[in-house]
Amino acid sequence: MTSSRRRLSRPVILGPSAALVLMAAAGCSSGDASASVTVPTPSPEAAAYCRALHKELPSAVAGQERSDPGSGSDLTAGWGDGEIVLRCGVPRPAKMDDAQSKAVDANGVNWMLEQLDDGRPRFTTTLRKAYVEVTLSAAYAHDASPLAAFAPAVRKTVPDRL
């Protein structure tokens, strides 16, 4: 019986670019959508508020268990499989200069709404000494109720700017 498999006479070594392509593909195939959360780079003052906030965040939001992104940073947190992602210490969004921007109040915390191109809502606190951003999955496109879960922690740890 003859084998139809061809044997390589020498080992195949992937070059750096091929290895990067394979690693990127492996990263893209991860089931954890929150793994690619960008960690903000706030001022030292804002970072201190964010570290305090991180300790006060709830273990569950809107029925989603806490599942922080792989970065292990005190500036990011997540719930579910990327359903709800929080980043603290983000830059002030340019959209805050738009008088037509929409805002909501959730238990005493004001949030500016931005609709992302893929339909997901992103909310950023206003009038706070550190900007806290919450991005919700498309499942929450018309539901800002998860923001209420963050209000006690934000009010306790991130002072009003005024």
Each residue's pLDDT tens digit, 90-142: 999 999 999 889 999 999 999 999 999 998 999 999 999 999 999 999 998 88
Please state, in angstroms and rounded to a whole number, the distance separating the CA atoms of residues 71 and 69: 6
Cβ of 53: how many Cβ atoms within 10 Å? 23
Let me know the angle formed at the C-alpha of 79 by 73 and 84, rounded to the nearest 5 degrees: 95
Question: In terms of pTM, does the model score above 0.95?
Answer: no
44 or 9, which is more confident: 44
Type of residue at 134: V
Nearest-CA neighbor of 125 among 156, 141, 147, 146? 147
- Compute the radius of gyration of the chain from its Cα atoms: 21
Nearest Cα to 148, choosing from 67, 37, 58, 85?
58
